[in-house]
Amino acid sequence: MKFPQFKDLIIFENDDVIVVNKPPFLASIDERNGGELNLLRMAKRYWDEAQICHRLDKETSGALIFAKNPEAYRCISMQFEHRQVKKVYHAVIEGTHVFDNKLVDLPIANLGKGNVTIDRYEGKRAETYFNSLKYYKHFTLVECLPLTGRMHQIRIHLATQRASIVADEMYGGHNPKLSAIKKGYKFSKDEEEQPLIKRFALHAKQVTFALPNDENITIEAEYPKDFATFIKLLDKFDS
């Protein structure tokens, strides 16, 4: 898969930080199974001292922060540690769910090798607020506000509410097809019908944090093409 140049992903940059709109299917850091291309390597080619301040799952798109110097890295890392960074995600979930500042407060245990579970005894504190933004016949667009930053936190918290993210097979999601929402839609029997989106529908829409000079900034990341197209199809055929 061909990805844009790092400079074309940048949505904010100053002397201290770079914020990019991460494409789906591009890893944040080196993966266990190798692979040369990831955002941290790309960032270091662009700026030698670049350090990644947090991570997004490989399939997740959206706002990702890099520090350009050690002072900025310490500043932003401390904000993440003290839950001072406000993160806003958008997700499309299966079914109709009315979330009005719904808090899911369920501890998450990391089992290793990319697997986590809800564990009330051994798990670490994990809190996420959810708000429904738009209702469709078969889906709901939701805003996700994680207060902590556990692995797969939003994904597993939604699954506990029987509201799996679309196409998130690890947590019970299914791959939606156009034939399921468009009346009379027919596709060639010689070809397998493609899903409406080929990865779980989760996007890091916005991030708010303080720069080393104490200025607070909010950076918004537009939906990537696949997510935007999925929403347009739902607007047209599932409203």
Nearest Cα to Cα of residue 159 among 101, 226, 108: 108
Quickly tell me which residue has 């299914």 as its tokens.
174
Assign 3-class secondary structure to 169-185: HHHCCCCCEHHHCCCCC
- The total number of residues written for the chain in this structure: 239
Would you please indicate which residues are annotated as catalytic (active-site) residues?
57
Beta strands in 7-146 (DSSP E): 10-13, 17-22, 51-52, 61-67, 86-94, 102-105, 108-112, 115-118, 127-135, 139-146
Return d(Cα 118, Cα 165) in angstroms, integer: 17
End-to-end CA distance of the chain: 33
